[in-house]
Amino acid sequence: MRVCLALGLVGISLATAQAASLEPPAGASSCTGCHPANAGVETSVPGLAGRNAPDIIAVMEAFRSGQKQATVMDRIAKGFTIEEIRAIAAWYAAQR
């Protein structure tokens, strides 16, 4: 029980450290091709910086499963593992 708890805390700590990192996780740079990095940019594509990580994850999972239709995001989302999606979502959520 203690080992599982300790491993869980290490995993959370690593995800938090990566999210707080200045360097984006692998794959996050592909998002900026469409998603604006600046809130002052007007576009129909939503910005990701500061968004709630669980919301980003839920949308990405919906794209991956085909529940949410898109022109390209469904194909892009399928290229990421759930671990990569979680890391990207945590990093964007930490950006302000």
Whether the pLDDT of residue 20 is over 70: the answer is no
Q: What pLDDT was estimated at residue 93? A: 96
If one compares 1 and 22, the residue with the highest pLDDT of the two is 22
If one compares 77 and 7, the residue with the highest pLDDT of the two is 77
| Domain covering 2-38+45-94: architecture | Orthogonal Bundle (1.10)
User: Where along the chain do its domains lie?
Assistant: 2-38+45-94
Whether the pLDDT of residue 67 is over 90: the answer is yes
Mean pLDDT of 12-41: 76
**Given pLDDT bands bounded at 50, 70 and 90, which one contains residue 40?**
confident
Alpha helices per DSSP H over the chain? 2-20, 53-65, 73-77, 82-94
